[in-house]
Amino acid sequence: MIVTTAQLYKHAYGKYAVGAYNINNMEQLLGLFSGNVRSKAPFIIQLSKGARKYADKRMLEAMIRTAEQIFPEAIFAVHLDHGDEETCYDCIESGFYSSVMIDASHEPFEENVAITSRVVEKEHAKGISDEADVGQLGGVVEDNKVDEIHTSLTETYIAVGLL
């Protein structure tokens, strides 16, 4: 059963961690569902912008819906991991995602905050939890590369107050 990310966090708070797993294909998805059902652990399926392109978002969503039928006892949320503004809007409008992460860390701080604010406004209007990196991360995430010399203080912001 797909639940909101906020519901998972509220249930787990102070008791246990909730695993979040990026998947790209059927084999990973089946292993994830099987293992978490056996351990009776709720979990978060993370889909990146790259995974949505590689496997096609429709295929990934159909596989998740099918796995939900095969493993009806599974409790999970679906999260967009490190999305750009356009991908975030697509996920928000789809009604399929429990939470969405905007990653505008490759932008100057002021633009990052502006983009993040726009996305968060749309997320909250739909009751979707949000996550954002404010600052510039060093390294490579998806197709964004930031040299260490250009990194700045980064805060990960997760809003779970949509209970």
What are the tokens at 145? 């590369």
The span from the CA of 44 to the CA of 155, in Å, is 21
The span from the CA of 54 to the CA of 126, in Å, is 27
- The answer to whether 81 is a known catalytic residue is yes
If you search the block for the tokens 């009806």, which residue do you land on? 72
Specify the amino acid at residue 97: Y
What are the tokens at 115? 């983009």
The span from the CA of 56 to the CA of 121, in Å, is 26
CB atoms near residue 155 (< 10 Å) = 8
Sign of CA dihedral 126, 162, 62, 90: positive
Instruction: Given the residues 81, 84, 130, 133, select the one marked as catalytic.
Output: 81
Give the residue numbers annotated as catalytic, written as ranges. Answer: 81
